[in-house]
Structure 1
Amino acid sequence: MEYNCSEIVLNQQKFFATGRTKNVHFRKTVLKKLLKEVQKRENDICDALYADFKKPKFEAVMTETGIIISELRLTIRKLTSWAKAKRVFPSILNFPSKDRIHSEPYGTTLIISPWNYPYQLAIAPLIGAVAAGNTVVLKPSEVTPNTSAILAEIISEVFDENHVTAVQGGVPVSEKLLAERWDYIFFTGSVHVGKIVAKAAAPNLTPVTLELGGKNPCIVDIHSDFKLAAKRIVWGKFLNAGQTCIAPDYLIVQAQAKFDFTKALNEEIKAAFGENPQESSDFARIVSKKHFDRLASMIKADEVLIGGETDEDDLYIAPTILDEPALDSEAMKDEIFGPILPIQVYNSLEDISNMIANYEKPLALYVFSNDDKFANRMITSHSFGGGAINDTVMHFGNHRLPFGGVGESGIGAYHGKHSFDTFSHKKSVIKKANWLDIPLRYAPYKGKMKLLKFFLKYF
């Protein structure tokens, strides 16, 4: 389908100018309509996700539809409170006044979503944008056409097209959209494309949120519970066949624990997916031939400890553990984004720091240890978007925690109220009373310096 992107943006600007989206009742009404529609289409969404890459229905509900339903319920329940102007204590220099922060929508927003969680990572930011009072153009991924089609149908059913619309297509469509002037851009995807988005936003100083990725380390020391750690790592890594931006990307295991922990990993992989994971209904597939080929080449280049089987016709790659690949190998150079987990070893804290410092700041970091001092040191010594002690991925599931990266793993954060705040400009306003006008600030200034410094020091 051909899209006139300029006309779409112009129509949304006109719709925003009517002021309808600034009405909180209007926002809640359309979000309730969206909730009703996504609940009605939940099975269709799960079927589309299966058609795109055989995502197990349990995973689809847990990581896609369930999260969105919960996010919508929370937003509808809390939106009136979130949208109210917040009164703050005034400065003594402004006395007497009433000071407030108003949450104001940016205007026309663009959301570009990825293929790995093609439903959840499209609708979650959209909820925040609509809740904050913006219009939205959503560009879902062309790599997952079945899910993108369902998204377009849902949006068409729920929203006025001048309020929210879905624009489908590949890279040329994204390029056309990025050539337009937006009031806010929200992008989820690779670091490489994130830089393109940031460059496109720069000429107009358009604010952006970039949800990117990186090589997420997972540190395991000798004091961890190997069986439980292995179970949680296997779940977090091989969820969605490893196609998760916050999945552990490589293990850093204390050298003397390597043998026993590898054994524990093998046992937990079998417990989760059986002797032949390809026959398991609980293991997803790689999304495309292009991604399959990239991952398969990593396995061929390094020594395999566990797994390593591939099936090109089925786009299947087994849960795989690689044995200490070189840091300049394909598996260790960039984010893997698949069911391949290299295991590295360390003998000292310096070894850990040196390995993590080899990469840009990651989106996530995980540490498994019953030694609180060690675990806290790992958390405080390294910069990363978010993470967990003695678990993986689960920090994503708490809407009270902002989700986002730092440095090359991203800019900005969202989830729950953080989504509303991301798509809202915080406008500061004071209302000054007229019954008193303190003369301190006015010229002439002679003889006032001492009093000014007193106020600045104590108030």
Structure 2
Amino acid sequence: MNKYQNLLDRQKAYFNTNITKSFEWRIEQLDKLSNLLKENLDEFYATVSKDFKTAISEQVFEVNAPLGIIEMVKGQLKNWMEPTIAPLPKFLAEAGHTAFVQRDPFGSTLIIGPFNGPILLLLYPAVTALSAGNTVVLKTSVDTPATSALLEKLIPQYFQEEAVAVVSGGVEEVTALLELPFDFIFFTGSARVGKIILRAAAENLTPVILELGGHNPAIVDETADIADAAKKIVWGATSWSGQFCASPGYAYVHESVVEQFVEEAKKAVVELYGNDPKNNPEYSSIINAAHVKRLAGLIDQTKVVAGGESDESARFVAPTILYPITWEDKIMEEEIFGPILPILTFSDLDVAIAKIQKAAKPLATYVFSTNKENTEKLLSTLSFGGGAVNMTNVQLFVASFPFGGVGGSGMGSYVGKYGYDSLTHAKPVLNSPAGAVIDHLYPPYTMEKLQALNGWFDF
């Protein structure tokens, strides 16, 4: 018997009591999650730092962002739960029928979190699932043992296991969980593993959200504020040491301004992290030595214009800028997921668009331009999960925006109301007066009856 079968059975039985559908239960769970974070702030900061987020600002954000999210959701939840009135064909409305759509939770939700946001990217989906009235099984990342151990210790102190449970471990544990018929699966991670998740979900016809990554372009045209663009793109590519799914993967710069962009990017590295980023407390570590080795293997030392150093024992890769890079370079083959910024050039915007379109659809795209026509062309032509104009990364922190990918960068979205809708089923209900006449739907059929059916499309 699957070692997690009993846990899932208990969660499903608990869900079937209908308790999770009440507004009060949902608020209670969100309050518990908030208290868990508030009452253990220092311990969370320390464990996140031990795992890899050595930057103080990132430690604070990792823990404090979910607290802000919880308060936002609590303030909106009542409205989200209200059924919405649905329009009806005239002949039904005139005969006294009414209709509404209510949103029902799916049930027990498996949330598989990534290493790069061991608290934020695990608990944000949990907030979404709980606010929608689902029970939750949290699968922590094997690559963040300190944070995983802390969550494994604290979750049972605040939650009934039937409502929220936590599972740690590696491939064996994930495989066992994926064999079970969860009602929903939420996965954040790589496209490679996302395919495994989707295949497993198909066995039980389980709906999924897949939040994957992508090789995200930052396009800089000849009208851009180059100093501003360079600093924002360098920051976006190196914050969290580049271990962020929506980080700019490469800068695609118009040839007329590329030399200026390179100089400004080099300047930005020093402004952000000084001359010794390895010992700068605002620069985070790489998750482990294996990832350092992988990233070092992507750096063509003949094209390094800034950084380039790495140290496996210190889990360090310097903020690195590579130029000139072409589409044929190894580093352009897939998502980098590290603090390395390749710089490519283009001379014709349409040709640049065609090149981007040949690659996998990215999770994010960033446009730096003051030309309205160029901006509109890029935004309307390119397919991507989400993005920004003259900014990087910040769109992810806007709680009124959906967050999700397209194609190889994911499916489904969450954050705020979009997440609530994703983790609930839209259930339509038609309310008919007793004795309402529908004779034209009964056999035997005549041409007159069939013509009467046209009224179904008259609103």
**Partner of 2:392: helix, strand, or coil?**
coil
Amino acid across the alignment from 2:448: G
C-alpha offsets along residues 397-448 of structure 1, whole Å, 9 cap, x if unaligned? Answer: 1111110000110010000122221111111111112375364444433324
Contact kept, 8 Å, 1:20 with 1:26, in 2: the verdict is: yes
Q: Distance in 2 between matches of 1:87 and 1:413?
A: 24
Aligned residue in 1 for 2:88 = 90
Aligned residue in 1 for 2:52 = 53
Contact kept, 8 Å, 1:38 with 1:154, in 2: the verdict is: no
Pairing of 1:244-393 with structure 2 (within 5 A): 244-300=244-300, 303-393=303-393
Aligned residue in 2 for 1:394 = 394
Q: CA deviation at 1:140?
A: 0.8
What percent identity do the matched residue pairs reach?
A: 36
Amino acid across the alignment from 1:362: P
Contact kept, 8 Å, 2:100 with 2:429, in 1: the verdict is: yes
Q: Distance in 2 between matches of 1:71 and 1:93?
A: 44
Contact kept, 8 Å, 1:55 with 1:240, in 2: the verdict is: no
Q: Distance in 2 between matches of 1:445 and 1:412?
A: 45
C-alpha offsets along residues 146-166 of structure 1, whole Å, 9 cap, x if unaligned? Answer: 111222233212210121100
Q: Distance in 2 between matches of 1:458 and 1:90?
A: 9
**Partner of 1:299: helix, strand, or coil?**
coil
Amino acid across the alignment from 2:395: H
What TM-score does the superposition give when structure 2 sets the normalisation length?
0.95
Residues 448 and 11 (structure 1), Cα distance of their counterparts in 2 relative to 1, 3 Å cut: closer
Amino acid across the alignment from 1:65: V
Aligned residue in 2 for 1:76 = 74
What TM-score does the superposition give when structure 1 sets the normalisation length?
0.95
Amino acid across the alignment from 1:150: L
Q: CA deviation at 1:91?
A: 2.6
**Partner of 1:425: helix, strand, or coil?**
strand
Aligned residue in 1 for 2:107 = 107
Q: Distance in 2 between matches of 1:326 and 1:51?
A: 37
Q: CA deviation at 1:456?
A: 5.3
Q: Distance in 1 between matches of 2:198 and 2:41?
A: 34
Amino acid across the alignment from 2:14: F
Q: Distance in 2 between matches of 1:298 and 1:212?
A: 21
The 10-residue stretch of structure 1 (441-450 or 237-246) with the greater mean CA deviation from structure 2: 441-450
Pairing of 1:198-209 with structure 2 (within 5 A): 198-209=198-209
Q: Distance in 1 between matches of 2:113 and 2:101?
A: 30
The 10-residue stretch of structure 1 (264-273 or 71-80) with the greater mean CA deviation from structure 2: 71-80
Q: Distance in 2 between matches of 1:138 and 1:436?
A: 48
Amino acid across the alignment from 1:106: F
Q: Distance in 2 between matches of 1:10 and 1:17?
A: 11
**Partner of 1:124: helix, strand, or coil?**
helix
**Partner of 1:400: helix, strand, or coil?**
coil
Q: CA deviation at 1:350?
A: 3.0
Q: CA deviation at 1:324?
A: 3.1
Q: Distance in 2 between matches of 1:125 and 1:94?
A: 40
Q: Distance in 2 between matches of 1:186 and 1:434?
A: 42
Q: CA deviation at 1:326?
A: 4.0
Amino acid across the alignment from 2:47: A
Aligned residue in 2 for 1:157 = 157
Amino acid across the alignment from 2:134: N
Contact kept, 8 Å, 2:292 with 2:315, in 1: the verdict is: yes
**Partner of 1:430: helix, strand, or coil?**
strand
Count of residues in Structure 1 that have an aligned counterpart in Structure 2 = 456
Aligned residue in 2 for 1:35 = 34
Contact kept, 8 Å, 1:302 with 1:325, in 2: the verdict is: no
Contact kept, 8 Å, 2:209 with 2:412, in 1: the verdict is: yes
Q: Distance in 2 between matches of 1:37 and 1:167?
A: 17
Contact kept, 8 Å, 1:214 with 1:245, in 2: the verdict is: yes
Aligned residue in 1 for 2:429 = 429
Alignment of 1:446 with 2:444, yes or no, is no
Q: Distance in 1 between matches of 2:434 and 2:16?
A: 33
Q: CA deviation at 1:167?
A: 0.3
Q: CA deviation at 1:17?
A: 1.9
Q: Distance in 2 between matches of 1:13 and 1:185?
A: 14
C-alpha offsets along residues 160-198 of structure 1, whole Å, 9 cap, x if unaligned? Answer: 012110000011111111111111100000000000000
**Partner of 2:29: helix, strand, or coil?**
helix
Q: Distance in 2 between matches of 1:326 and 1:82?
A: 48
